[in-house]
Structure 1
Amino acid sequence: MIESWRWFGPRDPISLTDIRQTGATGIVTALHDLPNGAVWPEADISARRDMIEAAGLKWLVTESIPVHEDIKTGAPGWEHKARNWARSAVALARQGVATICYNFMPVLDWTRTDLAYELEDGATALRFEYAAYAAFDLFILQREGAEACYSADEIAAARARFQAMSPAERDRLTANILAGLPGSEESYTPDSFRERLGSYRDVGREDLFRNLQNFLDFVLPEVEAAGGVLALHPDDPPRSLFGLPRIVSTQADLERIAAMHASRAHGFTLCTGSLGAHPDNDIPALVDLLADRIHFLHLRATRREDDPRSFHEDAHLAGDLDMVAVIRAVRRLERQAGKVLPMRPDHGHRILNDLTGTSTPGYPAIGRLRGLAELRGVACAVDALGTAGAQ
């Protein structure tokens, strides 16, 4: 695995110099200042690449080129948006940034209800609390038809959760869900969010699968010809939110999507946290199943709570995930496929000076450094013992 680090560009409070000191050699980034749907100028790509290389690092993965909502809904003119997406991807590949992580989550990207959930040791983590999410949907957003998505008991629990919140807590929950977390494609107000949800009124799971297929048919030949590979990120959380379809959540979803194209340029980002939040997903088995369709790794762990739809980010070697088994499977994949995968320690707890310093939610310096060191240690141990002998 190539140790890499998510960097949000020159405005990121964690500098390239800081990243160099972590031991990571790869950078995962994007041109975050460009609007969704814009073509990325090749000159801007090369300038960002040169900036990274001047710091002694290499831009390995683009995360991500946002997929416009018109593409996901199949709205009239979606082909123009897809053409722009393909032009950006081709420009990246020509500049030596071949791997493109993207997602196909409708409206919202990754979603959390709490960005500073306090753990027993005083660290803080990201959390998705189902009752708080339902309280927002039912009683703050007041989404039309939302009641049909919940049982009577769930509505009662959501009402109690809502009534227990202060006005400031309700505002904070709204901001956490709608303002856009790092790397998100969009941010919304409640009114604009309701409007965007309305554009999916006639889009179901089968429609979304079809629109993904159409998108891939449109962009994949050009990207592959330029030497690029596409790495689709799973849904986070891996289940429907706000009545929207989600299609990249389970093993069955991944197998169906893999079958859309035989090309090995069509593949996945294996995000152990996103997939691990679904109790039916066996992550080491998924590594073996998807094999050389995996082009990029997000390694982190989540811990499901009493309500298994709720979870929080745990330490990288804790939670509901057997990270040792995952890394063993990755080493088998790399050996058999004859390639080395870029990996980044995904998310991290705010610990030590992270708690008083400035960092992007989910992406503190010291918390991720701890995760990277732990993952590095597991990889070294697996290599020393031998992948086969460690079974």
Structure 2
Amino acid sequence: MKQTWRWFGPEDRVSVDTMLQAGVEGVVSALHHIPTGAVWSGAEIAKRQKEIATRPAGGPSGLKWDVVESLPVSEDIKRQTGDWRNHLEAWKESLHNLHAAGLNVICYNFMPVLDWTRTDLAFQLPNGATCMRFELPVFAAFDIHILGRDGAVDSYSDETVLAANQVFKTLRQDDIQSLVRNVVFGLPGAAENFSLEDLRYHLSAYAGLGEDGLRANLIDFLSEVAPVAQDLGMRLCCHPDDPPTPLLGLPRIMSTEADYKQVLDTVDVMSNGVTLCSGSLGARPDNDLPGMMERLGDRVHFLHLRNVKRETSDICGSFHEAAHLEGDTDMVALIAAVLKQEAHRRAAGREDASIPFRPDHGQDILDDLGRNAQPGYPSIGRLKGLAELRGIVTALSHPTVANGLNH
């Protein structure tokens, strides 16, 4: 398992030196400043590679860009509207440019409108740490009373609607503004540039496109780009929905093992693969993460290892980001399944025997508090998570136990 770390570029509050001190082996990054639908040029790719390879003081870091997260898929491609064919060609051209630069693992997602959704970006835990949280009644209050989406009430149980009504009664104006900012933070791009009207516009653009339509568009997209990636020896890996349930009346099509299996079987080439995010998928109690790794592992090209604590037993319920070994996912069992898959790959002579993973998200602890880093991406909280995950990998890889995993 290759230890990687997500880095948002020179503006990231977490530096290249921090990554070095964390002991990572590779970097996960993207060109967030390039508009969605535009080509990632060779020059821009090389610039980011140089930034990763250079320490703040100017010396070499020894690190390199290993995984792209994410090469964004435009809303036009997802809906097959507007300029989607040009965006599709730009995506293919970006693949060629990335491959020419030595980058071959490409994470993307097919979530409509919102890349991820939380109601609180700094929920305080009993020990004083903060984390991101999705609280269903609060989100329902936003949907029903603040956004005012048509038919929103019908999207929730009577119990949740009643709870949402009570939540809304307690919200002050600054609470409402904060909640709006938190929800729209999941929109691609800078959150401060989006408003409720922007969100309403994006939602209306998906009117009439249900799960079957969005899935068909994903399969069309993969039918175009996966053969290109296959010819180049690249690996595409789709990130699951976050949270993995319908929101705001939008279709969600990558939330369960059955969702992934349908897409993998339909576009059945090795380049079409999975980003197994234990946090996103783990927000549903019916998702068996170690089992998914066992059954889909042949096509898992990238791992996000994080944990969430579900606050209800409902398929769609509240949850918060837990410490990496303290949530509802059995991280030891999941990593054991990963190591077993890697052993199979080595035996088969596969070049991708070592699967890259990163400690996805983390709680803000110690000096993280007040540093105002990217939500979910603190320095010390992720370092703690990486150290814990590294310990599990080291223990399970020890000769005294490894033989049992390889059979």
Question: Shorter-normalised TM-score: what interval?
Answer: over 0.9
Mapping of 1:331-370 within 5 angstroms? 331-338=339-346, 339-370=353-384
Superposed displacement of residue 113, structure 1: 0.5
Between the aligned partners of 2:126 and 2:227, the Cα distance in structure 1 is 50
User: For 2:401, which of 382, 386, 389 is the aligned residue?
Assistant: 386
Distance 1:178 1:185, change over 3 A: closer
Between the aligned partners of 1:101 and 1:185, the Cα distance in structure 2 is 21
Q: Does 1:322 align with 2:330?
A: yes
User: For 2:77, which of 68, 71, 79 is the aligned residue?
Assistant: 71
Answer whether contact 1:204 1:244 (CA < 8 A) is retained: yes
Mapping of 1:1-391 within 5 angstroms? 1-54=1-54, 55-180=61-186, 188-306=194-312, 308=314, 309-338=317-346, 339-384=353-398, 385-387=400-402, 389=404
Between the aligned partners of 2:190 and 2:357, the Cα distance in structure 1 is 20
SS in structure 1 at match of 2:275: strand
Between the aligned partners of 2:239 and 2:35, the Cα distance in structure 1 is 20
Between the aligned partners of 1:22 and 1:69, the Cα distance in structure 2 is 36
Answer whether contact 1:45 1:92 (CA < 8 A) is retained: yes
SS in structure 2 at match of 1:389: helix
The letter for the 2-side match of 1:34 is I
Distance 1:200 1:182, change over 3 A: closer
| CA RMSD of superposed structures (Å) | 1.7
Answer whether contact 2:364 2:380 (CA < 8 A) is retained: yes
Superposed displacement of residue 223, structure 1: 2.2
Between the aligned partners of 2:403 and 2:226, the Cα distance in structure 1 is 35
Choose 378-387 or 283-292, whichever is displaced more.
378-387
Between the aligned partners of 1:188 and 1:287, the Cα distance in structure 2 is 37
Answer whether contact 2:114 2:187 (CA < 8 A) is retained: no
The letter for the 2-side match of 1:28 is V
Distance 1:173 1:139, change over 3 A: same
SS in structure 2 at match of 1:378: helix
Superposed displacement of residue 269, structure 1: 0.5
Q: Deviations over 1:247-302 (max 9, x none)?
A: 00011111111112221110010100001111001100100111220000000100
Q: Deviations over 1:47-98 (max 9, x none)?
A: 2113323321111100001100011112144221111111112211111110
The letter for the 2-side match of 1:19 is M
Superposed displacement of residue 181, structure 1: 6.9
Q: Deviations over 1:14-50 (max 9, x none)?
A: 1111111100021000011111111111111012113
Between the aligned partners of 1:145 and 1:387, the Cα distance in structure 2 is 54
Superposed displacement of residue 216, structure 1: 0.7
Q: Deviations over 1:218-246 (max 9, x none)?
A: 11222222222100000000000001110
The letter for the 1-side match of 2:43 is A
SS in structure 2 at match of 1:108: coil
Identity of aligned residues (%): 48
Answer whether contact 1:267 1:295 (CA < 8 A) is retained: yes
Aligned to 2:350: none
Superposed displacement of residue 147, structure 1: 1.9
Choose 354-363 or 110-119, whichever is displaced more.
354-363
Choose 54-63 or 363-372, whichever is displaced more.
54-63
